[in-house]
Amino acid sequence: MKELSSRLALRSILVSYLFILVIMPISAVYLKGFSLGWDPFWKEITGIIAWKAIILTLKLSILTTFIQAFLGTFIAFVLVRYKFWGRRWLNSLIDLPFSLPTAVSGLMLLTLLGPTSPFGKWLESFGISLLYNESAIVIGMIFITLPFVIRTVQPMIEQLDPFEEQASFILGAGKAFTFFKITLPAVFPGIIAGSMLTFSRSLAEFGAISLISGNLPGKTQVASVYIYGEIENYNTQGAAAVSVVLITFSLVVLLLANFLQKWKGRTI
């Protein structure tokens, strides 16, 4: 009897912990965003600066996702299929953007792309500036999300059945044909799942981007920086309204990724 009641107590503690830590905070944002009704919410997010920040974030996140889908798949293949000196070392380095504080990542990119560094000077001599503009934001997003696609595609390539590719070769298919018809379709669910994580992380990123984007309202200000500005200006309702848009987007993407992973598990 005593054991039963202690179990019950533990369960209620865990459930209330989950409630207080996750459910309540998220509902608080939605409630605050809609606290004055639909019209003020709509007015907040369609305000010219907020709207431009949301559109800019979505646009650059989609661009980053596409770049990362190609880049990540390519790097994953090279790291799994080719044995070369330093491979193991490179492979562990991939996770660096995860373990690095985002403020430090931002400072690194700020320094590297800035006019005082040799690299920045070299770029400047070609008239290229990669700081305080949209390309800076994309560079920041790519740095932060580098591991996602690589880390989801890598295990799928490792688990690939080598006989399928061999069969394709034996039947006379070329390397490229085999890759696009046999290998790529097999790892495609991994690419999609990794890309969705990339997209959701790009939408959310603040630390790295706020240092290198220049944060020009309406031009290079992303949504998370806009939210931060509104909090600082005590406009929590406006901050919450834009947050609702961001959370809803990431939530849908996260659910899709979850669903895809389940669906992938069922087919294997």
Q: Which parts of 225-264 interact with another protein (CB under 8 A)?
A: 227-228, 231, 236, 239-240, 243, 246-247, 250-251, 253-255, 258
* Cβ–Cβ under 8 Å, residues 113 and 130: yes
**Nearer residue to another protein within complex by CB, 75 or 182:** 75
Q: Convert 111-156 into a string of H (helix), E (strand) and C (coil).
A: HHHCCCCHHHHHHHHCCCCCCCCHHHHHHHHHHHHHHHHHHHHHHH
DSSP structural state of residue 21: I
Site string for another protein, 124-143 (x = CB under 8 A): ------------------xx
The CB-of-167 to another protein minimum distance in angstroms stands at: 22
The CB-of-61 to another protein minimum distance in angstroms stands at: 12
Q: Total residues at the site for another protein (CB under 8 A)?
A: 75
**Nearer residue to another protein within complex by CB, 68 or 168:** 68
Q: How many whole angstroms separate alpha carbon 138 and alpha carbon 250?
A: 18
Q: Is the dihedral of CA 85, 147, 215, 58 positive or negative?
A: positive
- Residue 225 amino acid letter: V
Site string for another protein, 160-199 (x = CB under 8 A): ----------------------------------------
Question: Considering only residues 9, 18, 36, 128, which one is a binding residue for another protein as defined by CB under 8 A?
Answer: 18
The interface region with another protein, picked from 44-52, 77-85, 165-173, 179-187 by CB under 8 A, is 77-85
Q: How many whole angstroms separate alpha carbon 185 and alpha carbon 164?
A: 12
Task: Provide the 10 A C-beta neighbour count for residue 116.
Answer: 7
**Nearer residue to another protein within complex by CB, 182 or 225:** 225
Query: How many CA atoms lie within 13 Å of 161's alpha carbon, on the beta-carbon side?
Result: 8
The CB-of-79 to another protein minimum distance in angstroms stands at: 7
First to last CA, the chain: 45
**Nearer residue to another protein within complex by CB, 15 or 167:** 15
Q: Is the dihedral of CA 130, 131, 134, 135 positive or negative?
A: positive
- Residue 167 amino acid letter: A
The interface region with another protein, picked from 58-66, 83-91, 166-174, 178-186 by CB under 8 A, is 83-91
Q: How many whole angstroms separate alpha carbon 35 and alpha carbon 27?
A: 11
The CB-of-143 to another protein minimum distance in angstroms stands at: 6
Site string for another protein, 95-124 (x = CB under 8 A): xxxxxxxxxxxxxxxxxx----x-x-----
Question: Considering only residues 92, 127, 163, 172, which one is a binding residue for another protein as defined by CB under 8 A?
Answer: 92
- Residue 62, interface with another protein (CB under 8 A)? no
